[in-house]
Amino acid sequence: MTDSPEIHPSATPTRLEQLANEAAVAEGCQLVEVAIVPEGGSRVLRVFLDREDGPLQLDHCAAVSDRLSALLDLHDPITGEYRLEVSSPGLTRPVKKREDFIRFQGRLVVVHVFAALSAEPPSESQPVGPGKSAARKSASGANRKMVKGILQGMEEDDVLIRLKDNTVIRVPFRLIGKAHLDFEF
C-alpha cells in the first residue's frame, strides 16, 4: 500500500505553480495550469503547457518534466508518492489570463461565471452595439451563468463574446470562474 501524498504546508498551489512555471519558461514553454488530482488510490500532479511560437512537441514536455522533477526533488513540496504528468492541455485548453482572452480572439470559447449575468436590457446610458451589448436571458429565460460564443478579445475589464445570433456580450473578467476553448465538429 502506498502512502497518500500530502502537500507540504509550504507548498501552496502558488508554490507548485512557481516551480512548474520556472521549469516551463526555462524550456521555452508557457505554463497553462497545474492540478493535483486523485487517481487510482494515489495522486497525479498534472502540468499543462503551451507554446506561443509553434506547436508543443513531446520533446518540450519531456524536457519540462525532467526539469520540474528535479525542482520537486530539491524543494520536496509534496510528501508521499505521486506521479508527474506534463502535457498539452488539448483542444479545450483553459483560458485563464487576460492575455489568453486576447490571444485566442476569433476562437470558440465557453465561459462560466460566478454570478448570473444580468438579463436586464441595457439602459439608455449603455448603448447596444458592437462590444456594448448587455447579457441576455437564455432560451429558457433564466439568467446566464455560462456563455458560449466566439471570443472577440477584451475591452477594459470585460471579455467580449459574440453569440450565434451575432449579439456581442460583455462578461466582466472578475466574474469569470472558469473558461476554456471549445470546438464544433
> Which residue spans within 9-120 are E strands per DSSP?
30-39, 42-50, 78-79, 83-87, 108-113
What's the pLDDT at 44?
Answer: 95
In eight-state DSSP terms, residue 30 is: E
The pTM score is 0.74
Contact 17, 31 (CB under 8 A): yes
| Chain center to CA of 122 | 29
Ranges of the chain with pLDDT below 70: 1-13, 118-143
Domain annotation for the chain: domains and CATH numbers: 6-87 (3.30.300.70), 98-181 (2.30.30)
- pLDDT tens across 15-31, in order? 899 999 999 999 999 99
pLDDT of res. 79:
83
The pLDDT, as a whole number, for residue 144 is 74
CB 49 within 8 A of CB 62: no
pLDDT at residue number 166: 94
**Total residue count of the chain as it appears in this document:** 185
pLDDT given at position 120: 41
Q: Give the whole-angstrom CA distance, residue 101 versus residue 115.
A: 19
DSSP 3: P
Q: Which pLDDT value is given to residue 115?
A: 85
